[in-house]
Amino acid sequence: MKERVSRRPRIGVTLDADEAARRYQLSRGYVDAILAAGGLPILLPHGDASVAAAYLALLDGLVVTGGAFDIPPELYGEERRPACGPQKTERTAFEKDLLEAALAVSLPVLGICGGMQLLNVVRGGTLFQDLPADAGIEGHEQPPPKDVPTHAVQVTAGSRLARLLGPEPFRVNSTHHQAVRGSGLGVLVSGRAPDGVVEAIELPDLAFALGVQWHPEAVLHHDPRQAALFAGLVEAARGLPA
């Protein structure tokens, strides 16, 4: 315990990839937010899914990031429909293995956008493949700039999200066409948009496992309170209450 408190907790951050350019990529906002919270970002390329366990052994916490792709519907028991978007099967397979292993050992986890959706799926939950087609809900894919808050989130009283960001509604950015449909095993919905779309989930049975549908790393310069999500993760990674 003393060793964890005395050094920066190592926070794994999953990477996206531009396959055409054959390069990994990541928004700098993730790294800046983790550093500001006192963590040490460790970037996790997904070229070899067999090394997920080796990465996990290095880490004190994990951020599963978002990206412009969809989780394969087969992972939650559905066939792909036309409105479902592009997939990155290699990345998703790696993140799924990493996330399942992290949850199994209660490693602190923060899922962002698609990372939140995957957190729900690995717990047996389902997704709307497309909010407009499946639920008749528009307005969750805002045009650029993507960092500007565009809609409110209503917070579930007594949740970890409420402890971190406060119980009052706040505004977030929105850049997704999929969302949580059915909650997975042990998943608490801790935030919703005014139209009912799930915006945050958490696993109360674990020390720290939280997912948010928005991008706090991008919106926090409009709302500095969002830094508390990363601070909570880092504190949990230190072995301290978050």
Does the annotation count 138 as an active-site position?
Answer: no
Structural domains of the chain ordered from first start: 2-237 (3.40.50.880)
Please pick, among 113, 176, 177, 235, the residue that the annotation labels catalytic: 113
Does the annotation count 84 as an active-site position?
Answer: no
The pLDDT of residue 241 is 73
Alpha-helical (H) ranges within 24-150 are 28-36, 52-58, 89-104, 114-122, 131-135
Please pick, among 46, 140, 151, 215, the residue that the annotation labels catalytic: 215
Does the annotation count 19 as an active-site position?
Answer: no
Please pick, among 95, 199, 202, 217, the residue that the annotation labels catalytic: 217
Tell me the Ramachandran region of residue 92: left when phi exceeds 0, alpha when psi lies from -120 to 50, beta otherwise: alpha
The pLDDT of residue 4 is 46
Helix (H) / strand (E) element for 18: namely strand 16-18
Per-residue pLDDT tens digits of the chain, which is 242 residues long: 344 446 899 999 999 999 889 999 999 999 999 999 999 999 999 988 788 889 999 999 999 999 999 999 999 999 999 999 999 999 999 999 999 999 999 999 999 999 999 999 999 999 999 999 999 999 999 999 999 999 999 999 999 999 999 999 999 999 999 999 999 999 999 999 999 999 999 999 999 999 999 999 999 999 999 999 999 999 999 997 76
Give the angle 166-179-25 at the CA atoms, nearest 5°. 90
The pLDDT of residue 3 is 47
The pLDDT of residue 19 is 87
Q: Across the strands, what pairs with 112? A: 212
What is the value of pTM for the model shown? Answer: 0.95
Return d(Cα 216, Cα 132) in angstroms, integer: 24
The pLDDT of residue 130 is 98
